[in-house]
A and B are shown apart, each in its own frame.
Chain A
């Protein structure tokens, strides 16, 4: 493979990591509070607001059930509004964030719901406020689950990021389609797939390792 092609791969990998990294970060910033709220706002729960909970659930489901490629195209005006352009890696962060937020929210909801309800009662019994319960009990206790959820989200985002190539988003997927498929360069396609596999392995291993590190539920040593 020529040095130019190798450079292309390195550049595309950088774009993919940039898009996925920023989108995962923003998705977590938005998705974490939404997920915590979804997990604590049913009837009788910490922040009981059953109507808001149900409405938010519908929005989350609607966003999640929209195919990503359609979402990308459908929100182009919004993307242009936020990013100033609708093409390029920076612009691609907008649909990636919008797709990952509800996904992360649902995963966070699941992880938070795994926390033993007895712990909420315990914290309430010594006068913890709902906010204190979230930050001192729910999030620390759910941390292993949250890290695994985030890992899953990053892996999914890597897959999504391959699709934004279709609207000029750049990245590894774009490279694979344009060079590997349209210019019929199977070695390029192979290289892209190998890099993606390596990235997913890396992310998953790192996530598993971190989740294990913070999990104190199992006996150590």
Chain B
């Protein structure tokens, strides 16, 4: 549906500012009807990447093929016609303050030269689709953020595009509204079969909506694939840091402040076990306790679901004060690695 062929994008030096290599060696494809999240820190090149798809920017080298057409080779009228089959929504909604909700949605249709009666019918249909039929005659200043983005989505879908680009579309919204908008996008993908490409710096957006993910860092694709695969086995440090944000890898403050490097008499060793994959953590503690004969205590735990698989970590306390002493911790680590769990000793607590 969308294919990036050996793309690089360089912004030339301008007025004393040095040139920037925004993107390099970008080479991947986005399948028709999929929802792909492009995630990266600010400055990673996400915005440039998404703007190559609808021809707002031109690659320095390489081609961007959308729906079988090399959009990077288009210009002028040809490009404008192609752009009608690619919708886009924005972080700050970008609605015209001088037009009502309905007239904002009508704008791309006016630009495409639709007849007035057809525009009226299509606009009503779209406002209904995004659930704000009652806001037909409201101006953007009278709408909430979520409602504005619904107008933005209706406008982006007006000309029946095959691709919908989302440029941080939920970054200016509160979590509850974000969820509602992401649900709406999922519905649109399901019902209209529109391919969705969303760029974001928020793991929660990728986790809730995307099936495929592309991790971008310094203008380079560092990992890409199914969301579940990428986030159950993140390889690149950036991917790992995004995962850590999603599943909250940091320890509870009261626990973190008590951890010391050396064993404490009568205390516990603190071990963190990474949980990856469906059902992996379910019986772990019970099995450890039974097979190792230890009173394992659960100090902290967080398990989430990404792409239908469990991802998270358990922080366990292994008692050292009992007969067997120090050996208990190393036996536990050996047992964990035998059972394919990745684990590390964080320290000790009293």
Partner-B contacts on A (CB < 8 A)? 116, 118-119, 121-129, 132, 136-137, 140-141, 143, 214, 216-220
Contacts and interface: CB of A to CB of B under 8 A. Distances in A.
B141 A218 contact: yes
A119 B140 CA distance: 14
Contacts of B97: 141, 216-217
Contacts of A116: 94
A126 B94 contact: no
B142 A125 contact: no
Contacts of A137: 96
B119 to A, nearest CB: 13
B111 A219 contact: no
A142 to B, nearest CB: 9
B111 A123 contact: yes
A116 B140 CA distance: 14
A140 B111 contact: no
A141 B80 contact: no
B121 to A, nearest CB: 19
Contact of B83 (A126, A143, A214, A218): A126
A140 B159 contact: no
Among A127, A132, A218, A219, the most chain B Cβ lie within 10 Å of the Cβ of: A127
Interface string B37-72: 000000000000000001010000000000000000
B107 A123 contact: yes
Nearest to B109: A126
Interface stretch (B85-93, B216-224, B276-284, B319-327): B85-93
Contact of A216 (B107, B139, B159): B139
A159 B81 CA distance: 50
A141 B159 contact: no
Contact of B94 (A118, A140, A217, A218): A118
Interface string B212-252: 00000000000000000000000000000000000000000
29 contacts: A118-B94, A119-B96, A121-B56, A122-B88, A122-B90, A123-B111, A125-B54, A125-B86, A126-B87, A126-B107, A126-B111, A126-B155, A126-B156, A126-B158, A127-B79, A127-B81, A127-B82, A127-B83, A127-B108, A128-B80, A129-B77, A129-B80, A140-B98, A140-B99, A216-B139, A217-B97, A219-B142, A220-B139, A220-B142
B99 to A, nearest CB: 7
Interface string B89-121: 010101011110000000110111000000000
Q: Is the interface of A mostly helix, strand, loop or mixed?
A: helix
Given A126-B84, A126-B111, A216 B94 contact: no
Nearest to B87: A126
Contacts of A141: 96-98
Interface residues of B, number: 32
Contacts of A125: 54, 56, 83, 86, 88
Nearest to A120: B94
Contacts of A127: 79-84, 108, 111-112
Contacts of A129: 77, 80, 111
A126 B159 contact: yes
5 pairs of A and B residues whose beta carbons are closest in the complex: A127-B83, A127-B80, A126-B108, A122-B94, A216-B139
A114 to B, nearest CB: 11
A217 B139 CA distance: 8
Given A126-B108, A126-B111, A217-B141, A140 B88 contact: no
A126 to B, nearest CB: 4
A217 B97 CA distance: 6
A197 B86 CA distance: 55
Contacts of B92: 118
Q: Which of A125, A136, A143 has the most CB of B within 10 A?
A: A125
B111 A128 contact: yes
Contacts of B141: 216-220
Interface in B157-189: 158-159
A157 to B, nearest CB: 27
B72 to A, nearest CB: 15
A140 B54 contact: no
Contacts of B110: 136
Nearest to A119: B94
B93 to A, nearest CB: 9
Nearest to B158: A126
A121 B92 CA distance: 12
Nearest to A118: B94
A107 B268 CA distance: 74
Contacts of B142: 219-220
Given A127-B83, A140-B99, 18 more contacts: A121-B56, A122-B90, A123-B107, A123-B111, A126-B83, A126-B87, A126-B88, A126-B158, A127-B84, A127-B112, A129-B77, A140-B96, A140-B98, A141-B97, A141-B98, A217-B97, A220-B139, A220-B142
